[in-house]
Each structure stands twice: as structure tokens, then as C-alpha cells.
Amino acid sequence: MKRKFLNQIIAVGATAAMVAGLAGCGQTGEGQQPENPDPGTSVADPGTTDPGTTTEPVDDGSPYEVITDENGNPIDLGGVEVIIRDWWSNNELPSNNDYEEARIDYIDWCQETYNFTVTNIAISDWGAAPQDFADYVMSGGDDNYYVFTIRPDAATTSAMNEGLMYDLSTLDCLDFDHNPIFTRNQIDELYSNGDKIYAMYAANNGFSEARAGMYFNKRVLEDAGIDPQSIYDMQDAGTWTWDAWIKMLDTVTRDIDNDGTIDIYGCGENYGDLIKGFIFSNGGTEVAYDSDGKFRIALEDPNVLEGLNMCKEVMDKYDVHNAYVNDEAWDFYKEDWLSGHFAFYPGQVWEADNVRQMDDEVGFAIFPVGPSAGNNYHSYASENLYVIPACYDADKAWKCAFAYMLYFGDVPGYEDFIENLDGLKAGYYSKFDDTDSVDSTVVKIIKSGGYEIGELVPNLRIGEDFEWNLYAGGADVSSVIEATKTAWQTYIDEANAKR
């Protein structure tokens, strides 16, 4: 497909300003962060520290409005290569539709206009990314211009508390109040301390990544007399509830050959996905904020307890785990799913390619809504974080941020297309067997995503400390909560002391 420049001239952001001062590079990464000049009254060339006066962007015939310095010239990043490092990219942008083609054109134009290149490439791996970042900053950095991608983790929160992340609020090319790539999610609020902001998320145009939902085997449902389309109909009508799902589980779970042994189960899954599904779909989280903005344990909140108890009921009555002894491999259910041994698979969107490795057609729904959540769907969200090393000086940090903002920013001329999630949906269709999985389910998951606050507390391990133990050996909910609270309270007290 031939790429075409847009005809419309649209601003990509406010006139950029540079800040003065340097960020320290000591062993803790802490240092003096620069103060911003009064917004809207002065700007500075990124290569200088002398503020100038604001000028109007010039119309030089470019397809987009140009961001200029105080002299009316396009911002010049001096030919730097900004590397957005992660653990999966190969520096190839998709080009499957008009929007993706236009995005490539836009990024090419930005790089030429502002004299920089941007590379998005895998350098670390998922497990090591938080520590790689910490090691880099503690060593004082190097000559590269990195924006690091790291994942939510206790080490990530520790890195923030120890001052290893640059205070992004001092970089005025990042508009956390008005730019939609920053306002569509809450990452800046989660990873902040007072007025300081340490992390951002602008990938996917700032929309939360689709995470957990509910896969279902359409043939298995039809064999039990259930119309799979009814799930989508209820989902769109707001009647896809716990009760509706439990009725289906009751219908599906049965002894087909009357030998006294269950042949088809209602569900099977990773424990964590089921537990989080019930907690979040009922409007809860395992750790929450109190009225003073401090962390608190929320496991005994009524809506959380309701979700945990319902989860246990589902596990005891309808789950394929009941067909096996405890020495089975933890992920045995994956093979059982592919063999059609159960109907519903609560799981992650990224599992779609593996889940669909069967002849049966697979559907995908949002987790049904709980009774304490009204008619509002709530899904678990977890985003990768983008951070800048605190050991960079102000000039280097600003250039990294400016390039990042342009690379992930909304493509001018496609505002409605982006707001309606058309760009994101286009990338999901090939992952599913029907369009409802995307148009109905993925859209709802993206728009209803919420974060587990406990992931921000250093040393607090939600899976190992709580979720993995919840149903081991027939333990009851209250005893596991009691065994968890003492350790968690210590971690929470330590974290609150630093807030």
C-alpha cells in the first residue's frame, strides 16, 4: 500500500520548552531536578539553557504543524538516536491498514523535521527488565539515550522510591493534564509521589492494554444446549453476570456416559486469573488506598470477600482441577482445554494464539459482572511502564521524552479513529475466531481496566503470598487471609513510610 501524507495541518502539541539544570547521577540516582519556566511565557532551545520568548509555529508547507523553538525554528534534537528498549520489539512498525501507514509517515516526518531517530527494540527480557534498569542507573548510565520499558514489580517500586527514575513532571514536553496519550490511563498517578511523576504509558495511544477475559468453547456449549451467541448478547445488554455464568457452568458440568465420573467440566484456568477476575469484576482490589492516600489491606472488604467466596464455590463445583490429584503439573489444564474437557477458560488476551490451537471455534467474553459492581464491568489491567533514568541531565532527559511523545503520540487526522479504538481493534481481529471477541469484548476490557494497587508495594507478592495458597490443600478463605495479613501489613507500613 502506498503511503500518503495527510492533507490537513494539525498541531501535535504545545510549543516545547527546555528546562535548566542537571539531574544527579549518584549511586542512588537522586539529584536536583530542574524547575520549569512559567508555561506559555518562555521556551528554550534544547541545546541551550537560556529561556526565550514564545513564537507561533510557522507554516512551511509541511503536512503537520511544526513545534518550534524561541527563534521560530523547528525543535532540533541534534541527530540523537533515542532507543525505547523493551523485551519484544524488532523495530518494525505494522503497516496493515491506512492508519498504520499514516503512523509510519508521521514518525518519518517527525524524525526528519526534528533531527532525531527513534529505535524501539528488544534489549532486556521480561524477568530481568526491572533489575536491568536499576543496574544501569546505579552505574551512572552511558552515552545512549534510553527510554526504559519495565513491568510492574516490587523492584520497580523500589527503584522509584530510591530515586532512580527521572521526575517526568519537570519535562514540559510531556503534558500529563491534556495530552490524551497520558490522560487515557492512570500510570502517572500510580507511579508518583506528591507532584513528582516517575512513569508514563503512551503505547496503544495511551489506552490500557487488553488483559484478562473469558475464553469459551462454542462446540462444548452447543453440546450442552447453550447458544454461544447468547453470551455476547448478554454482555452487550449488561446482563452477563455471575449468576448467568454459574447457570451455564451448572449446565455444562456433567457426566455424559453415566459412569459416575464427570466428563465435561465448566471451567479450568490459572488460579490467579480466576481470583483476580472475581475480585475485580465485583469492584474490588486486594490492596487499596485509605482516605489519606495510604496503602491498606483490602482482603476483608465485603466486595472482595464476596468475590473470593464465589471463586471458591466455582473451584469446588465446576473446575477441571477436581479431576486430578495435587501432583499434576500446574498448567495441566491447558492440554485439557485443547481436548475439549471444559467449556470456559478465564485467561489473558496474549494467550489467544495458544488457546485457539484446536478445531473447535473459540469465543471470548469479559469476566461477568459481580453483584456489588452494579451493571459496570471491571477488568484487571496491568501496563508496562516507560521511565527515563534519573542519572540523565536535563537536556538528555528532555530529548528522550520529546522523541517518546512523538513516537507514541496520536497521529494527526485520525483522532476519531483512535478514540473509537479502531486502530487497536484492527490489530486484534487476527487473534480471535469471531469479530464479537474484539468489537464487544476487547473494547469493554480496555475501557474497564483497573489496577491492582498491591503491585506498588515493595516485597508484597500477591501471587506467592496469597493467590497461590488460597485453595491449596482445601484451605478456607478466612484462614489464608489471616496467614497473609501479618506479612503484608509489615510491607505496607514500610511503603507508607515513604509516601
The full DSSP string for 413-482 is T-HHHHHTTHHHHHTTGGGSSSSHIIIIIIHHHHHTEEE-GGGGSTT--HHHHTGGGSSGGG--HHHHHH
Q: In terms of residue numbers, what domain contains 175?
A: 1-209+383-427
Give this prediction's pTM.
0.78
pLDDT in tens, 189-245: 889 888 899 999 998 888 888 889 999 999 999 999 999 999 999 999 999 999 999
- Quickly tell me which residue has 531517530 as its cell: 117
User: Predicted confidence band at 38 (pLDDT cuts at 50, 70, 90)?
Assistant: very low
7 pLDDT more than 50:
no
User: Predicted confidence band at 299 (pLDDT cuts at 50, 70, 90)?
Assistant: very high
**For the residues 368-385, what does the mean pLDDT come to?**
91
Dihedral over alpha carbons 24, 25, 29, 30 (to 10 degrees): -20
pLDDT in tens, 56-82: 444 555 678 899 998 999 999 999 999
357 pLDDT more than 80:
yes
User: Predicted confidence band at 381 (pLDDT cuts at 50, 70, 90)?
Assistant: confident
Same domain, 12 and 84: yes
Cell of 244: 448467568
Same domain, 371 and 389: no
**For the residues 450-472, what does the mean pLDDT come to?**
85
Among 50-54, 134-138, 227-231, 245-249, the minimum mean pLDDT is found in 50-54
Same domain, 357 and 408: no
Same domain, 388 and 377: no
Same domain, 445 and 339: yes
Q: Say which residue, 410 or 96, is predicted with more confidence.
A: 410
Query: What pLDDT, on a 0 to 100 scale, did the predictor assign at position 327?
Result: 59
Query: What pLDDT, on a 0 to 100 scale, did the predictor assign at position 473?
Result: 55
Same domain, 418 and 272: no
Query: What pLDDT, on a 0 to 100 scale, did the predictor assign at position 260?
Result: 86
Same domain, 190 and 295: no
Tell me, rounded to whole angstroms, the distance of Cα 240 from its chain centroid: 24
Same domain, 64 and 132: yes
Cβ contact 457:491 at 8 Å:
yes
| DSSP calls for 217-255 | EHHHHHHTT--THHHHHHHHHT--BHHHHHHHHHHH-B-
Domain of 323, CATH number, reads 3.40.190.10
Same domain, 124 and 196: yes
55 pLDDT more than 60:
no
Residue 132 burial class via C-beta count within 10 angstroms: exposed 0-12, middle 13-18, buried 19 and up: middle
- Nearest Cα neighbor of 77 from 67, 85, 86 is 67
**For the residues 460-478, what does the mean pLDDT come to?**
80
**For the residues 173-183, what does the mean pLDDT come to?**
91
- Nearest Cα neighbor of 30 from 152, 189, 180, 193 is 193
User: Predicted confidence band at 461 (pLDDT cuts at 50, 70, 90)?
Assistant: confident
pLDDT in tens, 435-455: 999 999 999 999 888 889 898
Residues paired with residue 342 on neighbouring β-strands, in sequence order: 265
Same domain, 159 and 77: yes
Query: What pLDDT, on a 0 to 100 scale, did the predictor assign at position 474?
Result: 62
Query: What pLDDT, on a 0 to 100 scale, did the predictor assign at position 56?
Result: 47
Same domain, 68 and 98: yes
Query: What pLDDT, on a 0 to 100 scale, did the predictor assign at position 47?
Result: 38
Q: How many domains does the chain have?
A: 2
Same domain, 102 and 220: no
Please give the Cα distance from 111 to 79 (Å, whole number): 9
